[in-house]
Structure 1
Amino acid sequence: MASTKGARTVVAKIGSSTLVDKTGAIDRAFVRSLCDQIATLVGEDTRVVMVSSGAVAAGREILGFHERPREIDDLQACAAAGQALLTQFYSQALERHDIPCGQVLLSRRDVIERDSYLHARNTLTRMFELGAVPVVNENDTVSVAEFTFGDNDMLGAIVAGMVSADLYVILSDVAGLYTANPQEDPTASLVETVHEVDARVSGMAGGSGTSFGTGGMSSKVRAGRAMLAAGIPTVICLGRRPNVLVDVAHGKRVGTRFVPSGSGTHDVGRKLWIGLSEIVHGSLYLDEGATRAVIDRGASILPVGVTKTEGEYQVGDVVNVLDPDGALIGRGAVRYSSEDMARVRGLKLDVIERFLGPDRAQPAIHRDELLVF
């Protein structure tokens, strides 16, 4: 991969399981050491965004929960109580280096709606200009779906796309992706480099996270796959390894690196927004010819190449794009409703025009609104 040394913009995501101590409380000493690393990078003219979980863990400490609550209202109460405390920890730790920080709370709605997405991006950009470190978290107090969003792994990927990051670092409680669960299989080995997330790599990812967080390796691999499509290098590494954030930003070989192809570019426009931010409403299955045209030539998806449609969706909704075997190859904004798609799939555009009129004869998904994984 291209060296990450000298990366000008780094997005780092850290999960609750890495932030807490053995009692489940936020480890203040570790937060200070993490902010020391951020300060080192800022001193090298690197812009840093910290996507931080931990609000619920901090709120548990305040509200007296002995383990992670299960009810949504309890989770939201903990997030509300803990968010201010979490931001205070970062603020105080960065203040020792004369670096201001600011809290940015995002909900799924903020990244689904294009205007809100652009406003959030402008806020982050302006904070960079003012020398501040944005500390981003999900606005868990007013949202429900976010608690299954993947321990902020995908939120970090979305933010990396927002700011055209040169590097996305997932600071985890494991050293990276292993060939098998190292706690169960002593022969498991670290996967140092990933060029493509196929069924074999997905199978290595395993299950869920710890009692302190919501994510697991599978969500990190999904985020890595999205970043491969965006052309943004991604590293999954052990967050408590000394000086790990600085080492990764300097290009040292640490953890598992997701390496974009040489043709990968920073696709931070509408394609990336669609591919990472939107809620998926359905799926389109393609035949072999359409699959090859999409992957090899970056073609639009025509109705004639669609073999099956699943789910209920409207014009403009985002759907998954699957190959004949059901493997996910991309995601895009569809130009037909699910009802109309069921009628026109398998038909050529001239046939659709004859029966529905010229305005209705169009690609199922235009290439400009399709992110290919």
Structure 2
Amino acid sequence: MLKTEKQIKRVVIKIGSSSLTSMHGEISRKKLENFAEQIVALKDAGYETAVVSSGAVAAGYRKLGCIERPTSLPEKQAAASIGQGLLMESYSELFLSHGYVASQILITRSDFANENRFENMQNTMNVLLERGIIPIINENDTVTVDRLRFGDNDTLSAKVAGLIDADMLIILSDIDGLYDSNPNENPDAKLLEKVHSITPEIEAAAGGSGSAVGTGGMKSKIKAVEIAMAAGIDSFLGKAGCEDMLIDAVAGKAKGTYFEQEPDALNLDNKQQWIAFHSGPEGKVTVNSHGKKAIIDNHEDLYRFDIEDVKGEFKDGAVVRIIDEDGNEIGLGRVNFSTKQLNEDVEENENELEPAIAKETFVCSLDFKLSALG
């Protein structure tokens, strides 16, 4: 019997297309059954589990009349509209046979960018997990266009993990972990079993590996892990085909790479995560040296007299990029004033003593590489 350190822990499991398909490119029932059985074992042990599953296009393109996996966007979206229902039907049937109910959640980037929809997603998923339901999550491929895409389900899974305050993110694919160099090119490449921070060396080790079936290579997985780590969530990267991989990953004994932050590492709370990774900044404010020092060194509020320049049209409550006088981005934050109010003389504004950006809403680029993750 699998034991848990806590009575209930939340786990987000990302399963890539290559992990679900047969050698002919179609969804493999055998592989689905294997994953379902492992997820059921986690559920039986008291874990709350959410599954971010690729595979809609793979499940539907033959039914669309395509001999090979389509390459054009309209055909991919049409295949996904067929395949998503078939994929969900298979998951539902498999979980119901073990006494568990599955639900479907389809997401686009705009759902994260809109704060109200972000909170609605969070509330919905929390209710489902607390009631023992298994959410099956995928990007809404049928309606998503390039500018609204996550790009891959690795990124989506990390953002979902942060959304629901998961304890662990498991990313499964055709790769058995992160190596210090490309194992396809270097036979002496070593598997990195533990990683505590995403350094430039780690980023350099993330080559462009990945199968033709999926959309994400190693770089996208490291980006996803970095998002999860910023939220204080441990991650695991391993190969899907290994027996009992999910069970062993949670138990800490699977072959692969574990990404675990140091105990004193900085973490973002839920509101800071939304500001950092989802908000879509609406403008820029340039701060003077006093303002920069107040935010970064002293962890104080930023006031209107610290602001030298304002770019963009935004209302109070918007998220903006904070720039120093040399043009370097130092972070993001939520403004308490509109563009018009910030451009007024300080003496004319009756709220001059109210912070322009409260310290609680500031997220530092130096800590979390926001320009790369947002």
DSSP 3-state at the match of 2:258: strand
CA contact under 8 A between 1:68 and 1:211: conserved in structure 2?
no
Partners of 1:228 and 1:145 in 2: CA distance: 26
Give the equivalent residue in structure 2 for 1:144: 145
- Show CA shifts across 1:235-257 (max 9, x none): 11112211111111122254222
Cα deviations across residues 209-228 of structure 1 (Å, max 9, x unaligned)?
Answer: 43212211111111111111
Residue 211 of structure 1 is matched in structure 2 by 212
Q: 2:346 aligns with which of 322, 343, 353?
A: 353
Give the conservation status (yes or no) of the 8 Å contact 1:234–1:258. yes
Aligned counterparts of 1:272 and 1:364: Cα–Cα separation in 2 = 20
Q: Tell me the SS of whatever aligns to 1:61.
A: coil
Q: Take 1:203 and 1:364, find their aligned partners in 2: how far apart are those partners?
A: 39
CA contact under 8 A between 2:4 and 2:46: conserved in structure 1?
no
In the superposition, relative to structure 1, how do residues 125 and 320 fare at CA in structure 2: closer, same or farther (>3 Å)?
Answer: same
**Post-superposition shift, 1:134?**
0.8
Q: 1:10 to 1:357 in 2, by over 3 A?
A: same
> Which residue number in structure 1 is paired with residue 260 of structure 2?
259
Between the aligned partners of 1:211 and 1:12, the Cα distance in structure 2 is: 21
C-alpha distance in 1 between matches for 2:304 and 2:178:
38
Please say if 1:225 is aligned against 2:226.
yes
Q: Could you say what secondary structure the match of 2:22 adopts?
A: coil
The SS at the match of 2:35 is: helix
Name the Cα RMSD after superposition: 3.6
CA distance in 1, matches of 2:197, 2:178: 13
Q: Which residue of 2 aligns with 1:192?
A: 193
Does residue 121 of structure 1 match 2:127? no
Q: Is the 8 A contact 1:157 1:276 kept in 2?
A: no
Alignment match of 1:370 (pick from 362, 365, 372): 362
Q: Which one is further off, 245-254 or 103-112? A: 245-254
Cα gap change, 1:161/1:172 in structure 2, threshold over 3 Å: closer, same or farther? same
Q: What letter corresponds to residue 125 of structure 1 in structure 2?
A: N
Q: Deviations over 1:264-301 (max 9, x none)?
A: 57744211122232345677899999888766665556
Residue type of the alignment partner of 1:61: R
Q: Distance in 2 between matches of 1:68 and 1:119?
A: 34
Q: Which runs of 5+ in 2 are unaligned?
A: 369-374
The 1:16–1:319 alpha-carbon spacing in structure 2 relative to 1, beyond 3 Å, is farther
How many residues align? The count is 361
Q: 1: CA distance between counterparts of 2:336 and 2:209?
A: 35
After superposition, the Cα gap between the structure-2 partners of 1:114 and 1:281, relative to the gap in structure 1 and judged at 3 Å, is: closer
TM-score, L = length of structure 2? 0.81
- SS of 1:123 mapped into structure 2: helix
Q: Identity across aligned pairs (percent)?
A: 35
Within 2, Cα distance between the matches of 1:77 and 1:84? 12
In structure 2, C-alpha distance between the alignment counterparts of 1:306 and 1:172, rounded to whole Å: 47
Distance 1:189 1:131, change over 3 A: same
Q: Which residue of 2 aligns with 1:201?
A: 202
CA contact (8 A) 2:108 2:150 kept: no
State the one-letter code of the partner of 2:258. R
Higher relative contact order (CA 8 A, sep 6+): 1
Distance 2:322 2:220 in 1: 19
Report the counterpart of residue 33 of structure 1 in structure 2: 34
